[in-house]
Structure 1
Amino acid sequence: MIGRGDDFAATGEAAPHVPVLLSAAMHWLAPRDGGLYVDATFGAGGYSRAILATPGTRVIGIDRDQTAIMAGFGLVDGSGGRLTLVEDRFSNLNEVCESQGASAVDGIVMDIGVSSMQLDRAERGFSFRLDGPLDMRMGSDGPSASDVIAAASQASLSRVLATLGEEKFARPIARAIVEARKENPIVTTRALAEVVSRVLRPRPGEIHPATRTFQALRILVNEELDELRGALIAAEAVLKPGGRLVVVSFHSLEDRIVKTFFADRSRVGGGSRHQPELHHAPPSFKVLTRRPVVAGDDETAANPRARSAKLRAAERTDAPAHSAEQDDTGFPSLADVMKGH
Structure 2
Amino acid sequence: MIVVIDPSTKKNWVPTSKHAVTVSYFFDSTRNVYRIISLDGSKAIINSTITPNMTFTKTSQKFGQWADSRANTVYGLGFSSENHLVKFADKFAEFKEAARLAKEKSQEKMELTSTPSQESAPGDLLSPLTSESINGTDDERVTPDTPQHTEPRAEPSQNALPFSHSSSSINKHWEAELAALKGNNAKLTAALLESTANVKQWKQQLAAYQEEAERLHKRVTELECVSGQTTVIKSQKTELNQTIEELELALKAKEEELERLKAEVESANDFQSQKDLLTDKLQDTEARNQVLEAQLSDLEQRLESSQLEREAFRKSLRSLLELLDSKIFELTELRDTLAKLLEGS
TM-score grouping bracket, smaller chain normalisation: under 0.3
More helix by share: 2
Could you say which structure has the larger radius of gyration? Answer: 2
> TM-score w.r.t. structure 2 length?
0.22
> TM-score w.r.t. structure 1 length?
0.22
